[in-house]
């Protein structure tokens, strides 16, 4: 099998989750130390550990085959890469924020104002799309302090929880883009990375599902079967107590609470919920 070269963030918000995804897929990358190229111990893969901003270019130029990076960084880079998988971590959004007492109440009020941003390309794109003419100040970090320093009246930057904005007395008034970590390849790359994606998909699928089991009066089974989507059909086993069964199945995490309540309504007892490590459909 050909060795896959993957570009990963060396340090920062995506680094740990990226390594965890690979390790749950059974691909172990040893501690890098100062090294920037690290081969996996047990899989034909080599990790290039980079600043996240450089990852799209490495992939677009074919220096790395694939990469894990935030969507926001990919769009800002303008590099010709495409999304292979959405990875479900590193969620954030690109938003417009202003000082709490600002007269800027909506995006239209930005007209003629100054905006500080770490995302000049995206800012330019969204503002011109909306016909708003503002002066864009491109910064490499700490945009939150720009308004209080008098450099700009507003900022456009990445927000996750909003706590940094709060800390700087800023208020979010518009969101342009929602972002998460993505797996990318070069646009036009015809390789399929099948074996690698087989593993990644098993981990991603498992993360979205829960294994549940519960006890149920046998008479309630038909109603429960209608309720449960499951993988195929749930496993049903008799309990020692006559008239009672144990039902095992897999449910989507996002549906879990709704289903749990309905199951209880149908007489289910002792509902156990477990994480799934891998799921191969
Ligand atoms: P590098 O040193 O690799 O250039 P960085 O400082 O540019 O790192 P990080 O702050 O580590 O980048 O963020 C990496 C990515 O994590 C962002 O591009 C974004 O996709 C995502 N992210 C998730 N939550 C946040 C957040 N609260 N603030 C900023 N980025 C976030
Ligand atoms: Mg960066």
The structural domains of the chain, ordered by start, are 4-90+180-206 (3.40.190.10), 92-179 (3.40.190.10), 209-275 (3.30.70.120)
Q: Which ligand is nearest to the CA of 180?
A: 1
Q: How far is CA 148 from CA 55, 87, 168, 235, in A?
A: 32, 36, 8, 61
Closest C-alpha among 52, 65, 68, 72 to residue 19 = 68
Q: Which ligand is nearest to the CA of 158?
A: 1
| Dihedral-angle region of residue 142 (phi above 0 means left; psi in -120 to 50 means alpha; beta otherwise) | left
185-232 pLDDT, tens digit per residue, is 999 999 999 999 999 999 999 999 999 999 999 999 999 999 987 667
CA 52 to ligand 2 center in whole angstroms: 5
Would you say 122 and 96 are in contact if contact means Cβ atoms under 8 Å apart? Answer: no
49 lines ligand 1 (CB under 6 A): no
Record the pTM. 0.91
16 lines ligand 1 (CB under 6 A): no
70 lines ligand 1 (CB under 6 A): yes
Please state, in angstroms and rounded to a whole number, the distance separating the CA atoms of residues 207 and 279.
Answer: 9
13-42 pLDDT, tens digit per residue, is 999 999 999 999 999 999 988 899 999 999
Q: How far is CA 13 from CA 8, 38, 85, 209, in A?
A: 11, 20, 18, 24
Would you say 190 and 83 are in contact if contact means Cβ atoms under 8 Å apart? Answer: no
Mean pLDDT of 245-272: 95
Q: Describe the crossing of helices 194-207 and 15-24 by its angle, rounded to 10 degrees.
A: 100
Cβ atoms < 10 Å from Cβ of 213: 17
């Amino acid at each position: 099998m050909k060795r896959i070269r993957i570009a990963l963030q060396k340090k920062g918000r995506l680094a740990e989750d990226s390594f965890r995804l690979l390790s749950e897929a059974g691909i172990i990358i040893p501690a890098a130390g100062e090294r920037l190229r690290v081969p996996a111990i047990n899989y034909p893969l080599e990790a290039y550990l980079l600043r996240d901003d450089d990852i799209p270019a490495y992939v677009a130029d074919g220096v790395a085959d694939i990469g894990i990076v935030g969507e926001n960084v990919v769009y800002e880079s303008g590099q010709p890469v495409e999304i292979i998988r959405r990875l479900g971590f590193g969620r954030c959004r690109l938003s417009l924020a202003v000082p709490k007492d600002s007269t800027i109440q909506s995006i239209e009020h930005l007209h003629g104002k100054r905006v500080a941003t770490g995302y000049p390309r995206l800012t330019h794109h969204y503002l011109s799309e909306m016909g708003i003419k503002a002066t864009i100040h491109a910064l490499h970090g700490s945009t939150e302090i720009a308004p209080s320093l008098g450099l700009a009246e507003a900022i456009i930057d990445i927000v996750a929880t909003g706590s940094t904005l709060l800390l700087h007395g800023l208020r979010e008034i518009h969101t342009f883009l929602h972002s998460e970590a993505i797996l990318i390849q070069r646009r036009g790359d015809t390789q399929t990375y099948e074996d690698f994606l087989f593993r990644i998909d098993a981990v991603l699928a498992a993360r979205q599902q829960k294994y549940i089991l519960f006890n149920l009066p046998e008479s309630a089974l038909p109603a429960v079967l209608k309720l449960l989507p499951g993988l195929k059909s749930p496993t049903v086993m008799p309990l020692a107590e006559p008239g009672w069964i144990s039902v095992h199945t897999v449910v989507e995490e996002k549906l879990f609470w709704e289903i749990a309540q309905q199951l209880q309504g149908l007489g289910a007892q002792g509902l156990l919920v477990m994480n799934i490590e891998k799921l191969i459909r």
